[in-house]
């Protein structure tokens, strides 16, 4: 039986976290949430075993979500890392590309696209890990 997929959602807006939690639980995910980058970094440091991490960019500080992405990309096994932002700029988009972020969604997010991308990325990551 396939293992249940897990996702860490990081956003300082409670309404967005709750909405995404409902959406991804409905999709069959185990969902963990963090309302700040520091909380997310703590979760990644303690456990870190998520299939995917979806993070906002602007929380305690501008573009601080890039630090969440950076930490997630160092985790082993590496989760699929997605950035959701309403404040994309050349600077943060360039950093995300250089970091190797897997997906970038601009708010307002098209949920079907996000779910589809996440399912694809996780399936691919699991396939890659399985072949090692």
Partner 1 sequence: MTPKPNMSVPSRMALIVHSDMGALSGLQTALSAKGFTAIVARDLPTALLAITHHYFEVAIVSSQLAEGGDGWPLAGVLHLVFPKAFVCVVSPVEPDVLTLQAAINYGVREVYRQSTPAPQVVDSIVKQLGSGARSSSRTRVQ
The residues of the shown chain that bind partner 1, judged by CB under 8 A, are 88-90, 93-94, 96-97, 101-104, 106, 117, 124, 128
Cβ 20 to partner 1, closest distance in Å? 18
Cβ 102 to partner 1, closest distance in Å? 7
Cβ 88 to partner 1, closest distance in Å? 5
Nearest of 128, 97, 125, 105 to residue 23 by alpha carbon? 105
Residue with Cβ nearer partner 1 (42 or 124): 124
Distances (CA, A) of 52 to 16, 44, 55, 91: 17, 11, 10, 24
Element housing 40 (H / E): helix 37-46
Residue with Cβ nearer partner 1 (45 or 100): 100
CA distance 57 to 60: 9
């Amino acid at each position: 039986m396939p293992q249940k997929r897990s996702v860490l959602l990081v956003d300082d807006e409670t309404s967005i976290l709750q909405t995404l939690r409902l959406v991804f639980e409905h999709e069959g995910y185990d969902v963990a949430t963090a309302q700040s980058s520091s909380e997310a970094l703590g979760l990644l440091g303690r456990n870190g075993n998520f299939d995917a991490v979806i993070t906002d960019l602007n929380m305690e500080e501008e573009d601080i979500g890039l630090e969440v992405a950076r930490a997630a990309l160092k985790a082993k096994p590496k989760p699929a890392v997605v950035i959701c932002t309403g404040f994309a700029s050349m600077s943060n988009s360039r950093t995300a590309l250089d970091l190797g972020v897997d997906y970038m969604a601009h708010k307002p997010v098209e949920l079907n696209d996000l779910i589809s991308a996440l399912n694809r990325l996780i399936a691919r990551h699991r396939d890659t890990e399985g072949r090692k």
